[in-house]
Amino acid sequence: MTRAGVVWAAVVASLVLLILLIVFILQNQDQVLVQFMGFEGALPLGMALFIASVTGGVLVAAAGGARILQLRANARRARAPKRR
């Protein structure tokens, strides 16, 4: 296994997922009414679900990033006394 092979496999998997996502959005074109915190609008069901999933992913990534920064700060503090 080479890095190029792993990247190629990741690209192929991503393209398959993207094709499935496009099919999902195209099959769910019914307009739905979306209400959120006083805002209201109509958009296709597939797009509404896609926006919701991306928003959830962004929130999870933000929480994970904050945890990684917290762990790095703790590791840096733990190493600091040993340097002296």
The number of residues making up the chain comes to 84
Which pLDDT score, from 0 to 100, does residue 62 have?
95
Distance CA 66, CA 80 (A): 21
pLDDT digits (tens, 9 = 90+) for 6-47: 899 999 999 999 999 889 888 988 999 988 889 999 999 988
| C-alpha dihedral sign at 72, 78, 82, 84 | positive
pTM beyond 0.75: no
pLDDT digits (tens, 9 = 90+) for 52-83: 899 999 999 999 999 999 999 998 888 887 65
C-alpha R_g of the chain = 21
Which pLDDT score, from 0 to 100, does residue 83 have?
58
Which pLDDT score, from 0 to 100, does residue 79 have?
83
Distance CA 16, CA 19 (A): 5
